Chain A
């Protein structure tokens, strides 16, 4: 069990300097999700137009893994089509299962690959992605 597998520099960077943190003024798709077992929560906002995720923002509170995952996810999906975003979400699920997956479209996500060695923390990493799926469904 190597802590550095979990807490890579890129993860800590996103935790300390979250990207896309905040809220949109206008009325957009908003998904509030929490993790009832640990109290982590995220509110994700998605701006979509013509099948493209134009912009994404989030607020919330939680551990370094859940918040950095949210920060990376919002960066990763911006400008992607909804299908591409869903494909990323699926690849992220595979990554959490320990499968070798590539993120040519946003390599920083691979920093979270170590989470699969910490089963208790997988739900932290997937919270933002579950919010994304729910937001796309709406």
Chain B
């Protein structure tokens, strides 16, 4: 993988921030976009823009082909059996809310259990809290090991015959741990539950195969994997989706409308009310093409080398605490520096051109578990280099000096 050539594809990287070259290390929040994606969106609006599934004119056909073509790409990208199993959403949050509001509310009642973990992003936690509140089901947590990982023995204990839904992140957006979702899916299925996987932090960084995992639902966002914001997808097994009710009603999702009764379109369109995010889907399709042209395995290898390098270099910084396992962080490192608050760290790093995230990362229960009110996070992607890590480390050392002197 030639990082220099890849970087050339990302115009945004070639600028100075506060007099320093931009070092963008906030990829877990959102990734940057390559020219191929920017051009695809531009081309769509310049030449093909029209509504889908309606017009009998040429532009209408082009837009429909582009939109449905993107769905085919997503299906292939996740190795779904069929493109009907791919529902376009605004992103991971909307996808998870769709499962919770439709499948969750219809299939849970008092006495049932929904099993999640304390490391879930708020978008894979609050929807289940709400389902539990609305249905009387119990929300249960698989405990975490000391390093933040999940032990299968605990999974086995927490999931019972009463469990209806297991919802878990494939990769944690704070700890960088990869959860054994395939094994968890097997346990869930053996006990009669379904598994919902939050793939927001996995799809950008590794090859995902929903059939191999045997995921019942799998959600992801386009913008974290070089695509535009406002587009993502929910994968769901056909048999489950067919039995689910839409949660949004209106145009585009209907089959036949009477004065008092209506029927829905077939999959996947019954879940896509209103004019869909057509340009977003086109951009997501281009992002998938871009990532696949480089190869998800090559990207995973590059990032694994980079994260290991970062873990090594960060350990050189006196007073830096790294959260999560000693090794095996996927795509990111979360840390705190002495008693300097992470917001102050992030501001000083920004003054050196280094963009990191500081805060609770939409994981307040996990922050409490880590006994931290907030943390800083450096997250990497295919265009990051060892030089970026060096810039981060040197800026952290300067942060330490600055706050040491300022007192």
Contacts and interface: CB of A to CB of B under 8 A. Distances in A.
Q: Do A and B come from one complex?
A: yes
Interface of A: 1, 3, 6-7, 9, 12-13, 16, 37-41, 61-65, 118, 120-121, 124
B351 interface: yes
Interface of B: 18-19, 341-344, 347-348, 350-351, 358-360, 364, 367, 373-374, 402-403, 406-407
B214 to A, nearest CB: 36
A99 to B, nearest CB: 22
Given A38-B359, A121-B343, 5 more contacts: A12-B407, A39-B373, A40-B343, A40-B374, A124-B343
A39 B402 contact: no
B360 A38 contact: yes
Contacts of B407: 12-13, 16
Contact of B344 (A9, A39, A63): A63
Contacts of A13: 407
Contacts of A39: 359-360, 364, 367, 373-374
Nearest to A9: B406
Given A12-B406, A12-B407, A118 B360 contact: no
Nearest to A120: B347
A63 B364 CA distance: 17
* Residue among A1, A37, A61 facing the most chain B CB atoms (10 A cut-off): A1
A62 B406 contact: no
- Say what secondary structure dominates the interface of chain B: helix
Contact of B358 (A3, A38, A61): A38
A37 B347 CA distance: 16
Contact of B351 (A3, A16, A38): A3
A65 B19 CA distance: 24
A120 B18 CA distance: 15
A16 B351 CA distance: 22
Contacts of A63: 341-344
Nearest to A121: B347
A17 to B, nearest CB: 9
Nearest to A64: B344
Given A3-B348, A12-B407, A16-B407, A38 B402 contact: no
Contacts of A124: 343
19 contacts: A1-B18, A1-B350, A1-B351, A3-B347, A3-B348, A3-B402, A7-B344, A7-B406, A12-B403, A12-B407, A38-B343, A39-B359, A39-B360, A39-B367, A39-B373, A40-B343, A62-B373, A63-B341, A121-B343
Contacts of B403: 7, 12
B343 A37 contact: no
B365 to A, nearest CB: 12
A18 B367 CA distance: 24
Contacts of B360: 38-39
B402 A37 contact: no
A61 B373 contact: yes
B341 A64 contact: yes
A124 B347 CA distance: 12
A124 to B, nearest CB: 6
Nearest to A3: B351
Contacts of A64: 341, 344
B389 to A, nearest CB: 22
B341 A37 contact: no
A9 B208 CA distance: 51
Contacts of B19: 1
A54 B200 CA distance: 51
B19 to A, nearest CB: 8
Contacts of B347: 3, 6, 118, 120-121
Contacts of A6: 347
